[in-house]
Amino acid sequence: MFESIADTSIYKNLNLNKNLSHSYLFYSSDKELNNILALFFAKTLLCETHLGTDQCNSCKQFDARTHPDLTILKQDSIKVEDISKIINKLNTLPISADKKVFVILNAETINEIAQNKLLKSLEEPNSSNVFILTTTKTDKLLKTILSRLNKIYLPYPNFNDKKIIAEELKKQNINIEKLINSDFSLTDIINLSIDPNYQKIIDEIFKLLRDINTTADIPSVVNSLSINDKNNFYICFQDIVLSCIKDDYKKYDRNLIERINSKYSKKALLKSLPLIEDAYKKQMSNVNFYYILDNLMFNILKEKFLCK
């Protein structure tokens, strides 16, 4: 049998079954982690045995998002109308479970007026309702809201937990297995694994490291790249360099890793990491992509010669 989120050490350590509260906030810097754990907790609240792993009717309805006592809000912007829809349901009795569960994912997207409206329902709890919110940005929530929520901080999952979460994501057709060993956040991993351009990005990065031998090569190689996903580009770049440093052949072609290692010393690769990080930050602030990459390759070459 597959392990479930309930078997992850991160979830077990939360001890959520003790003293049920009427409102929760799952928070950490990782959006996907917050949401996966919060949704699983919601599932256990509605489940007939409260395990969330028993395939009972309630669990099936939860997975299909058709459970009558479940409301999930997940939008780029949550407005007063959306909160009103929740408030209209608060005073009705649960239909099939013993509680009604309201999940608001990425609660930083609730605008201020809507937060004030939500606050009123949090101030007057009703034992048949449970609120579960998630966020990566607690500073975007009103202090008055924060003070009403039972705050659950999530530490970053270990390797085993990541494997279990990967199984869970596979059910949603998201395959993160090949990326499981990486140091990225789950959010980054998922973005990469569902990105059809991912393999293309990897090919382009190998091309950069392989084909640029002197500064004179930089403009032509850099300009020959076509990159659609410019943010993930630097995340991948850093990961490839890390794999080279660690002689790790799990994610990328062994020949490619060895080829880069024959060209660059480990020391030069290590010194490249902060340079890539810096390029990533510049990319986030919308500096011209080719300009940043030109600069980055120039600096990496410089390290290559200095660290010979």
Would strands 129-135 and 23-27 be described as parallel, antiparallel, or unpaired?
parallel
Instruction: Find out whether 255 and 246 touch, Cβ atoms under 8 Å.
Output: no
The least distance separating Zn ion from the CB of residue 41, rounded to whole angstroms, comes to 13
Closest to Zn ion by CB, 97 or 186 = 97
| Residue 6 binds Zn ion, judged by CB under 5 A | no
Single out the residue of 5, 17, 28, 13 nearest to residue 151, CA to CA: 28
Instruction: Find out whether 251 and 179 touch, Cβ atoms under 8 Å.
Output: yes
CA 120 – CA 26 distance, rounded (Å)? 20
CA 86 – CA 281 distance, rounded (Å)? 39
Closest to Zn ion by CB, 62 or 289 = 62
| Residue 14 binds Zn ion, judged by CB under 5 A | no
DSSP 143-162: HHHHHHSEEEE-PPP-HHHH
Closest to Zn ion by CB, 56 or 72 = 56
The least distance separating Zn ion from the CB of residue 235, rounded to whole angstroms, comes to 37
The least distance separating Zn ion from the CB of residue 130, rounded to whole angstroms, comes to 16
User: Which residue is associated with the tokens 């930050």?
Assistant: 281
Could you say which of 33, 47, 97, 141 contacts Zn ion (CB under 5 A)? 47
| Residue 97 binds Zn ion, judged by CB under 5 A | no
- The pattern of x and - marking residues 51 through 80 that bind Zn ion according to CB under 5 A reads ---x-x--x---------------------
How many residues can be counted in the chain? 308
CA 283 – CA 288 distance, rounded (Å)? 7
Q: Binding residues for Zn ion, how many (CB under 5 A)?
A: 4
Pull the structure tokens for residue 156.
């970053």
Closest to Zn ion by CB, 59 or 154 = 59
| Contacting range for Zn ion; rule: CB under 5 A; set: 49-57, 110-118, 131-139, 176-184 | 49-57
The least distance separating Zn ion from the CB of residue 24, rounded to whole angstroms, comes to 19
| Residue 236 binds Zn ion, judged by CB under 5 A | no
Chain residues in the site for Zn ion (CB under 5 A): 47, 54, 56, 59
